[in-house]
Amino acid sequence: MTTTFDKRMSIDDIIASLSDGMTIGIGGWATRRKPMALVRALARSKLKDLTVVSYGGPDVGVLAAAGKIAKLAFAFVSLDHIPIEPHFKKARQAGLKVWEMDEGMLHWGLRAAAMHLPFLPTRCGMATSVAEHPGLRTIRSPYADGEELIAMPALRLDAALLHVHRSDERGNALILSPDPFFDELMARAADRVFLSAERIVPTEELGLPGNARFHPFERAVVTGVAEAPFGAHPTSAAPDYEIDMKHLRHYVASAESDDAWNAYRAAHVDVDQAAYVASVGGADAILAAPRPVY
Answer yes or no: are the C-beta atoms of 60 and 77 closer than 8 Å. Answer: yes
Name the pLDDT band for 277 (thresholds 50, 70, 90): very high
Give the 3-state secondary structure of residue 237.
coil
Answer yes or no: are the C-beta atoms of 77 and 85 closer than 8 Å. Answer: yes
Residues 6+ apart with CB under 8 A from 134: none
Rounded CA-CA distance 44/63 in Å is: 9
**Tens digits of residue pLDDT in 71-118:** 999 999 999 999 999 999 999 999 999 999 999 999 999 999 999 999
| Cα–chain center distance at 70 | 17
List where CATH 3.40.1080.10 sits in the chain.
Answer: 11-104+156-287
pTM score of the predicted model: 0.95
| The CATH number fitting domain 11-104+156-287, selected from 2.40.110.10, 3.40.1080.10, 3.40.30.10, 3.30.70.2860 | 3.40.1080.10
**Tens digits of residue pLDDT in 140-166:** 999 999 999 999 999 999 999 999 999
| Helical axes 258-268 vs 245-253, angle rounded to 10° | 140
Nearest to 269 by CA among 96, 17, 11: 11
Nearest to 245 by CA among 203, 186, 293: 293
Average pLDDT over residues 237-252: 96
Rounded CA-CA distance 56/70 in Å is: 15
Name the pLDDT band for 3 (thresholds 50, 70, 90): low
